[in-house]
Structure 1
Amino acid sequence: MPAANWDADISNDYLRCYKLLATLTQQEIELLRFRSQNFSGNNLTKMAPGVGTSGTDPVADDLETRWTNQTRDQLITHWEALTNNIPSQFVLNAPNILGECGWWWKGRIVNSDVVNYQERMSLMALSGILDRFSGRSPRILEIGGGYGALCLGLLNAVKPTQYVICDLPESLLFSGLYLTAALDRETRLLDADKSIAQESSGEVCLLPNYLAQTHIPRQQFDLVINTLSMSEMSPHQVKTYAELISTSIGSSGVFFEQNHDNKPVGLIDCKDYLGSFFSKVAFIEAPIPVVRGKAAVWSN
């Protein structure tokens, strides 16, 4: 279960990376992108899946000399396939901060993480979700924001009035630091006594998951997002979030979800439980290479 990734009684990379970044030393904050592999599954020093590596591994000054031309060509080819015919405002533009690395291609940084997050941006664009907000600014809730890449992409793409990230407190450290640096302004951390109501246009709010049932009820969102983490939850957690989401999107909002079927590894497929809370579902069939799970749009 997700909380076990932060269990002090077992040795795990989530906790090691959190403790390292929680020192708040300038050196480690400057390497935040290398410490984020547990959210993306990629190790940027290898520019490949992070199996067998740790996000706390030392970062060599000459790491780019170890990347192969084959790796570069594969990633750029994949990125090209994901961005072909996608409007430029819907193409992720990762800022050159906090250790971001890779190859400059058509004026943007391309690496294994950017490719993964672009898949989600492209799916939302091709499904028509992002076009729903043409001419108006939506209010967005993301459940499980990783290190903040998708939030940043959507802030640039659709200019939401407010973007709320609901996540484990330890995870919010990563997205809070990344987005504060990328946006050059503070993110707002919610607690039990602070209102979730928008305080400034385009603000980012960080909502600890244990306050979801305190703050989300009676709130309305145009778009709710979850990618990859719901199929790592328990059925009870999925049902709790699904009820909150269904109420918060009302009759006009949508829930974009992309998750693997994790039953083969002893977990769940969240889609088995979502149908009880939404009256409509459309599975996204898009002419792009999709490798991060089946995507669907749920609505009432």
Structure 2
Amino acid sequence: MIDTRNAACPPAKRRITANLLIRVAAVVVVVVALVSFVRTAGVADLGAVFGTADPAWVFAAVAVFLVPLLGNVLALRAVAPVRLPWGLTTAAQLAGAFGNLVAPANLGGMATNVRFLHRRGVATTGAAGAVGAAQAAAVAVTVSLALPGLIASGRLAGAGALVSVPVVTIVVLVLLAAAAAALRCTATGRRWTGRVRSVAAATLTAFRLALATPGRAGLALAGNLLVTLGTTAALAAAVQAFGATRSFGDLLLVVAGSALAGVLPVPGGAGGAEVILAAQLTALGLQPPVALAAAVLHRVVTFWSRVPVGWFAFARLRRAGHL
């Protein structure tokens, strides 16, 4: 008889188990937070608020969110090293919405774009670099739009006063030193560093390609502006649908901050995105039932409504050999 009591668990199985535990823990935390927020808002009040939704503003939210879809298409075409057809690129962005449902932090959409570019003849590293360049440009545009609002509102100064600069510097240096040691001293770290270097080099190449041509640079800027401003306009319409109103600048800060929900290890940020968005709207002065209703409507418009269409686009692209 073979004694398997002390047999080591295969590394792949250990990774799957660890990832599963992390996701289960994240789901539990999100569910608890969502239930707590719903209880605070009041189920009866929440139902009454949904009953008062203005259909015209709901339709406006749905219509406006077609703008970010166009922005994503423009941004990817701007950084891609090959010419991309409009129809297939649009279908790939819709398919990415379905991919985001099954993977956290927008990884599903990014992987879909990488695969799409690879099937168009771009090397895997080059495809990853192009997608990375598109994501980096999106972050840069969002920060550029949100930073003036933070400065004007005084929130940036207030946040800086909460923690002293020396403490922040020490913490950052310690974290960087620990990360550098882990990357240099472990085989996994060295392999990961090599992959990151190759993708980073491809990302810089994609950036240079986009910036070297004024048309491409303008396309990338326009695409990312459409994504951020269109998402903010959809949120403004969702808030207005329940009789509330807030300044476009405040809602732009909310959209920028709600991107943090993407880091939760929950597919699509399900639950966590709604809670974070509702909490931010409550901080702006909306009543909890109105804030949660607006957050749910915004998520339905910007994410959940695109999942069925994304699944159809994903299936069609796979059958046609484009993914």
Q: Same fold (TM over 0.5)?
A: no
Instruction: Give the TM-score range, shorter chain.
Output: under 0.3
Greater strand percent: which structure?
Answer: 1
Higher radius of gyration, 1 or 2:
2
